[in-house]
Amino acid sequence: MPRTLSILILAVLLSGCVSTYIKSRAGVGSEIRSVVVVAGPPDHWFDVSDNRRAFQWRMGRDCFVTYFAVKQGRAWVVESIQDPAYAIC
């Protein structure tokens, strides 16, 4: 039982680390392709408006980090990042 609890705690802590790592490597002003290189393809994406798109990466069961990007030429450039609603995912 203690080993299972230790693994669970480690998984929770690492999920928060992944979010911080992604943001430190590819933040506002970078192309969304930079985020994909670090985090892999997004779990979801959808158009928010004509030239704005949201890209979501799953960080836990019901926990997503959302990158909002604007279309600039042929590239999507990160405009803002929304952290998960939960303190720990």
Number of separate domains in the chain: 1
For the cut 50, the answer to whether the pLDDT of residue 72 exceeds it is yes
88 in a structural domain = no
Per the structure, the complete domain to which residue 13 belongs is given by 2-82
For the cut 70, the answer to whether the pLDDT of residue 88 exceeds it is no
Q: What single string gives the DSSP state of each residue in the chain? A: -HHHHHHHHHHHHHHHHHHHHHHHHS-TTSBHHHHHHHH-S-SEEEEEETTEEEEEEEEETTEEEEEEEEEETTEEEEEEEE--SSS--
26 in a structural domain = yes
Higher per-residue confidence, 57 vs 89: 57
Residue 32, pLDDT score: 95
Q: pTM score, two decimals? A: 0.69
pLDDT digits (tens, 9 = 90+) for 2-37: 655 444 454 444 444 455 545 555 689 999 999 999
**Any idea what the CATH number is for the domain that residue 30 is in?**
3.30.1450
89 in a structural domain = no
For the cut 90, the answer to whether the pLDDT of residue 59 exceeds it is no
